Amino acid sequence: MGWSLLPRPSDRRSGRLYRSCIAELVGTFSYIFWGCMVQHSLDNSTTTTTDNTETLGVAIGFGAALAATVHIFSDISGSHFNPAVSLAMFVVQRISLTRMFIYWIMQILGALLAIAILDACDLKMGETHLSVNVGQGFLFELFGTLLWVYVALAATNELRSTVKSNIEYPLYVGLAFILLHLALVPLTGCGLNPPRSLLANAFFDTIEGYDWVYVVAPLVAAVLGGFSYELIFSNYYTDLSSSYMKNTKTINSIPKQ
């Protein structure tokens, strides 16, 4: 199976594509909006909090927001909510090029809506800034997005033999998001998502010359993650499935006594 340009005709006829697009818009909006709202609440809390406590709260807030929206929409759109995840899904041939670009548009619109509402309410939350040099920031954003991509690819891999449930993907991606925010908020602001980073910085007039890092690093991570997962890790499940089928045929060929 090769890369596909257009979505499957059945998706267009049944309306699944349109529902998926709305799910990407609403999901992207929800996780960014509610994650930023948690950050605002911590910043304006009457209780004295240390920087470490606030970082923990932001990490849990964004992780819970992403887990909740992934749980709602994973069966509808795949719950990408990030152009990097959609690009990785295209690289491993799980979505078409057209679907990827449509998802990108919906994700940008969702992030734009979330940031615009925050700005209208004078809640300037969600900006991302580097407290390390550009090279380090690039690597941190790349490795962070790579983990997000790997979690998404592994949790949605149909070749895996583990029993799937509606809680598996949300749980894993939520935990990964908490981990990434704990590690990266003090260093890069934990962007990992180009629209979320750039739009917040643009709306709140905090654009810096290094903001290209928040676009290039996630997209490079998507390509690297997609190809490496497909060529190295996904083959494990293919080989395992082939071995299982071979053993099953051998057992079935033994004459019954």
**DSSP codes of every residue in 127-180:** ----SS-HHHHHHHHHHHHHHHHHHHHHHT-TT--SPP-TTHHHHHHHHHHHHH
DSSP state of 188: T
Residue 13 confidence (pLDDT): 60
Residue 252 confidence (pLDDT): 42
Q: What is the pLDDT along the chain (257 residues), one digit of tens a residue?
A: 567 777 767 666 667 889 999 999 999 999 999 999 998 888 877 666 677 788 999 999 999 999 999 999 999 999 999 999 999 999 999 999 999 999 999 999 999 999 999 999 988 888 899 999 999 999 999 999 999 999 999 988 877 755 455 678 899 999 999 999 999 999 999 999 999 999 999 988 888 999 999 999 999 999 999 999 999 987 777 655 455 444 444 444 444 44
Residue 249 confidence (pLDDT): 43
Residue 14 confidence (pLDDT): 61
Would you tell me how many other CB atoms lie within 10 Å of the CB of residue 56? 17
Residue 76 confidence (pLDDT): 93
pTM of the model: 0.87
Name residue 137's amino acid: G
Task: List the structure tokens of 31.
Answer: 């996780």
Please give the Cα distance from 58 to 64 (Å, whole number): 10
Residue 163 confidence (pLDDT): 45
DSSP state of 186: T
